[in-house]
Every structure is written in structure tokens, then in C-alpha cells.
Structure 1
Amino acid sequence: MHQKAFRRTLVIMEHVLNCLVIDDDPEVNTYVCELVSQTPFLQLTGSYDNAPAALHDLETGTVDLLILDINLPGIDGVTFARTLKDSGRPGPRVILISGSREYAVDGYKVDAVDYLVKPFLYEDFFRAVAKVRSMMSQPKAVPGDDHLFLKVEHELVRVNIGEIRYIESFKDYVKVFTGDKMITALSTLKAMEERVAGHRFMRIHRSFIVNLDKIDSIQHLTVRFGKTIIPVTEQYREVFRAEFRDWL
């Protein structure tokens, strides 16, 4: 079995991302590892040819970026990424790679930051990992903070957290809706969920996070913001009902 474990001392620098590679094709695995090594802000921590073998490394919580092949033996990459996403634990950002474009929509469903089609060049790889670095460099909101900064094109835009009504996933971006405007920012919905943790926000749909204090009305497990109606999907209903158990 092709498996390499890298026990290097991790570089403790905020801008360096610890990266794990999973691909069962030895040539592709080696190629991706070489691309990681060529990228100054990436630190290769390990590579594997199947997903279960990488679980121990991922459970340490030290992996920032997972470069994951879709067509793996046993558990496929999309299923594995979904398992990590649904675990409830903070996980790495994910870039999916595949020999076909047909799984791109599946990548969107598991909050993958990017999707690379083999064969890809270093320029494609760098664009994808630079996107991850940009997302992770954005400061998180913490309880007591009343604002956050969103990356909009070439600038950071300040947004008051209390003014956010809901956040919608849109491919590689999110749409942040406030009382009077909509801001399109470079981020995944998962990253935004982490950034507003500690405030009264809840994910109620794979594509939506809502501010519980800004909901206009709730009816039949749907929430309304003005004319916008968002369903609470099955995966999130138990937590949502617990929040509003006195009314639902």
C-alpha cells in the first residue's frame, strides 16, 4: 500500500498551512506533493492512498488543508468529505481533485473550496490554495466583537455582525444580506459559520446561515426575511426546534 508519513517539525507561523494529500494514483500523489513543497505557505504533513488511513492525522486537528481525490478505493472522496463536514468538529478546508468535471456539484455540496480537474498545472493549483490562504487569513469574530471584515475583490469591507440577516452560499463566494444591502465576498459558508460562532447565528440549510434575532417569522419549519423564505432542512431541524421549542 502506498503510504508515506511525514514527521517533520511543523512550522509555527500563522501564514503556513499544514497540508495533507490523499490520492490513490502514485504518480498524481507524488505530483501534488511536489506542488505543495513548491508553495511557500504550505507545509506537507502527510500523503495517503486511501481516506481511512488519513483519519488519525485529521483527528489531531492540525491539518489546515486537505487535497482529496474523489475516485478513491473504498470510501470515495465526496463521501469522506461529507463525513468530515457532518462530524461537528472543526475540520480542514478541502480541495477536491478528479479526472472528470461531473462531480463538481458534489464538491459544492460538501463546501469544497475548489475543484481541480486532472491534469492541472501549478498555476491552477496555486490559485486554489491561495484562495484557502485568503479565507483563513480573515480574522474571526469572537464573542464581544460587533463586526467582521469581508474580502470583497481587492479590499476588506467592514460589516456589523448585528446587521447581518442571513448568509447564502454562492459557488466560491457567499452573499451576506444586511438590512439594506447584499455583499458578495470570497468565502465558503463553512468559513462564515466559524467566523460568526459565538453569536446568534444558526445553519438551517446547506446553503444558508441565519441570524436568529433577525427572523421576521417562522411557519412550518420555514423562516422568512421579508419576501425571502428559507426552509429548515432535515439535517438541521432538531437543533432548530430546540432553539424555538416554546413556539414550535
Structure 2
Amino acid sequence: MNSIIIDNNYLSQQTIIQYCKRLDNDINILGVFDSVECAEEYIKTTLVKIDIIFLEAIFPGKSGVDFIADLYIVPVPYIIMTTSFQNYAVKAFDLNVVDYLMKPLIYQRFVQAIQKVTKLMKLDEEVEANEKLTIKNKGSITRFLIKDIDYIESYSDYVKIHIKKHSYLHLIALKEITKKLPENKFIQIHRRFVINIEKVISINENKISLEGNQTTELPISRAQRKAFYDKFLRN
């Protein structure tokens, strides 16, 4: 995990550095800054993703709390406050800091804060994986929001992903792309079609109507009919 330290106290800086080193190199310190303004200049120019920011609350210039409020990085790093001032805790947690460590810093509390970050990072990665579909073709990478997909159509070794009035052709088998989708949201209704269950607006005998830029009708094959109805009714 990449981190930066924003603290104007040399002893605090060195304590954080030493604690990070004790964590078996799990945390890589990209930079140490004496002021919020210096850190902001670094953030504007760096191309390296910052995972964690260790942040003091009070500075002679711009405060750490104001820094959080103005932070524009996407995705936002996980912030651990390290300070001697208790009265900023409520405001800090309102701004979604992960933890609020009081100085002098205690190693066990520091470890607990890092464990919180690790858990949050895993949860965020799982959410992102479930929300987005990434397809890599030779020379290109395309990412879709899964909830936006209406249905996927097979063309032998290719699939066409239909999203509203747009469609995207990719070199991947229908079977393979289906493995990347959440099972509770998508189901195959025909050897050529996998649909987003949440897009279904009506079922008429052997046809399904899907919402989108315009209503789309797709066939349900005899082989897929029972599995479709079982899953659709469960949802």
C-alpha cells in the first residue's frame, strides 16, 4: 500500500516511518510533508496511486480537516488522523477518516488502524469487481457498469454487449463472459442470449421484453425455460 505522511512534527514523522517498517514492508512511504500545501502540490503531480494518508489535524497554514474537505483524488485515499488534539475527532469522522490516533502514537493502535484500512480495501475491491465488468482484448480494455447492461448476444467467438441504444462487440465466448457476471443478476435464456434479470418488464409465453432505450423482445428456449422461471421468481 502506498502512503504519504503529512505532519509538521519530526518525531511523529519518524514514529510513523518506523511503525510502517515494522509491518514487513506492507506500506510504502512515497513522501513526507511538513504542510498541507506541500502535500497538495505533490498530489497534483504524482502519477502513483496513493492508498493511505497519515494526517495531522493542526498546521500553521491550512488545517488537516480542511485538506480532507478539499481532497479531490479519485479514488479517495484512506485517511488516518494522527494528532494531539481530541476536539477534531467528530469532524474528522464526519469526513470519513478511517481512524483517529492520539499522540504519542502507540504501535498496537497503529496496527489496528492499518487493519481497518486493509479490511475496507478488500471490501471496496469486492464491490468494484461486482459493479464493473472489465474486458481485455488485444490492444484495448473496456469497462462497463454491470447494472447498465441490458443483455449480451453471442456471435460464435464474439459477444455483443447491449447497453441502451449502444452495442459493443468483443472477442470472447458467451460462456466466458457469463462467468464474470453476478449469478443472481444474469441468466441465459437461449443459446445466444444472456439477460439482466432486472431489465425484464414482461414475459409473454416464449418471449421476454426488456427495458432499455426501446423495448427489446428476446426468445426463451425450451431448454432454458425452467431455469429462467426458477431464478426469475426467486428474484
CA contact (8 A) 1:33 1:47 kept: no
Unaligned runs of 5+ in 2: 133-144, 149-181, 186-235
Label 1:33 to 1:144 Cα distance change in 2 as closer, same or farther (>3 A). same
Aligned pair partner of 1:53 in 30, 38, 41? 38
Tell me, yes or no, if the aligned pair for 1:21 and 1:46 is still in contact at 8 Å. yes
Question: What is the distance in 2 between the residues matched to 1:57 and 1:67?
Answer: 15
- How far, CA to CA, are the matches of 1:34 and 1:56 in structure 2? 25
Aligned to 2:62: 75
Identify the residue that residue 200 of structure 1 maps to in structure 2: none
Matched, 1:19 2:3: yes
Give the length in aligned residue pairs.
132
Change beyond 3 A, Cα 1:144–1:55: same
Q: Highest CA radius of gyration, 1 or 2?
A: 2
Runs of 4+ aligned structure 1 residues displaced above 3 Å come to 159-162
Structure 1 pair 31–161 and aligned structure 2 pair: CA distance change class (3 A): farther
SS in 1 for 2:112: helix
TM-fit CA distance, 1:110: 1.2
**How far, CA to CA, are the matches of 2:183 and 2:94 in structure 1?**
28
Secondary structure, counterpart of 1:66 in structure 2: strand
2:77 to 80, 85, 92: 92
- Tell me how far apart the structure 2 counterparts of residues 48 and 70 of structure 1 sit (CA, whole Å): 13
Alpha-carbon shift at residue 55 of structure 1 (Å) = 1.9
- SS of the residue aligned with 2:146? coil
Query: Normalising by the residue count of structure 1, what TM-score does the alignment of the two structures yield?
Result: 0.49
Distance of aligned partners of 1:34 and 1:160 in 2 relative to their CA distance in 1, 3 Å threshold: farther
Give the Å deviation of 1:120: 2.2
Q: How does 1:162-241 map to 2 (within 5 A)?
A: none
- Structure 1 contact 24–73 (Cα < 8 Å) conserved: no
Corresponding letter in the other structure for 1:47:
V
Deviations 1:51-79 (A, max 9, x none): 11112432335111000000112001000
For the aligned residue pairs, the C-alpha RMSD in angstroms reads 2.4
Q: Which residue does 2:201 correspond to in 1?
A: none
Which residue of 120, 131, 136 maps to 2:105? 120
Amino acid at match of 2:80: I
- Counterpart of 2:84, as a letter, is G
Equivalence for 2:162: none
Partner of 2:17: 33
Q: Please state whether the residue corresponding to 1:102 is helix, strand or coil.
A: helix
Structure 1 residues 88, 124: CA separation in 2 closer, same or farther (over 3 Å shift)? closer
Identity of aligned residues (%): 26
Q: Deviations over 1:205-240 (max 9, x none)?
A: xxxxxxxxxxxxxxxxxxxxxxxxxxxxxxxxxxxx
The one-letter code matched in structure 1 to 2:62 is I
Unaligned runs of 5+ in 1: 1-16, 147-158, 163-248
CA–CA separation in structure 2 for the residues paired with 1:55 and 1:115 = 21
Residues 1:62 and 2:57 aligned together? no
Aligned-partner SS, 2:62? coil
| Structure-1 separation of matches of 2:107 and 2:94 | 25
Q: 1:129 to 1:100 in 2, by over 3 A?
A: same
Q: In 2, distance between residues paired with 1:96 and 1:83?
A: 16
Q: d(CA) in 2 for partners of 1:44 and 1:117?
A: 21
- Name the SS of the counterpart of 2:5 in structure 1: strand
- Mapped partners of 1:119, 1:80: distance in 2: 22
The answer on 1:105 being equivalent to 2:90 is yes
- Comparing both structures, which one devotes a greater share of its residues to helix? 2
Q: Name the SS for the 1:97 alignment partner.
A: strand
Q: What whole-Å deviation, never above 9, does each CA across 1:112-137 have from its counterpart, x for those lacking one?
A: 01100111211000100111111112
